[in-house]
Amino acid sequence: VLPRLGMRKVFSKKADLSGITGDKNLAVSQVVHKSLMDVAETGTEAAAATGVSSARLPRASVKFNRPFLFTILSEDTQSILFCGKVANPSAA
């Protein structure tokens, strides 16, 4: 995905990561990102491998009985911080 978004050089032999390791013969081969979102009656917590963010939401009674998509937006920038899909809410 990242090369298609224009981040190509770091994945190639042209990469120069010597500022990080001192070794010029180094390139990124893979990027792994993991995230978790836990929604419970006590609040919502979202975390990513690169950082942790959490927010307490007002209590509401909502029943999810079919598949759905969700997003969490930054209030300041309206940027998407997390997005996901729940294919089988009854399995949770």
Structure tokens given for 88: 């089988």
| Residue range 24-82, pLDDT digits in tens | 777 777 777 677 777 777 777 776 654 323 344 455 566 778 888 888 778 788 888 87
Query: 47 or 5, which is more confident?
Result: 5
Domain chopping of the chain, boundaries: 1-31, 35-91
- pLDDT score at 57: 43
Task: Calculate the CA dihedral of residues 53, 55, 60, 63 and round it to 10 degrees.
Answer: 0
Question: Rounded to whole angstroms, what are the CA distances from 5 to 2, 9, 59, 69?
Answer: 5, 12, 39, 23
CB atoms within 10 A of CB 15: 15
Report pLDDT for 61: 63
**Structure confidence at residue 62 (pLDDT):** 64
pLDDT value of position 53 = 31
Whether the full predicted model's pTM is greater than 0.75, yes or no, is no
Residue 85: the pLDDT is 82
Residue 55: what pLDDT? 40
Integer Cα distance of 42 and 67 in angstroms = 22
Q: What is 35-91's CATH superfamily?
A: Serpins superfamily (2.10.310.10)
Query: For the chain, first and last CA: distance in Å?
Result: 29
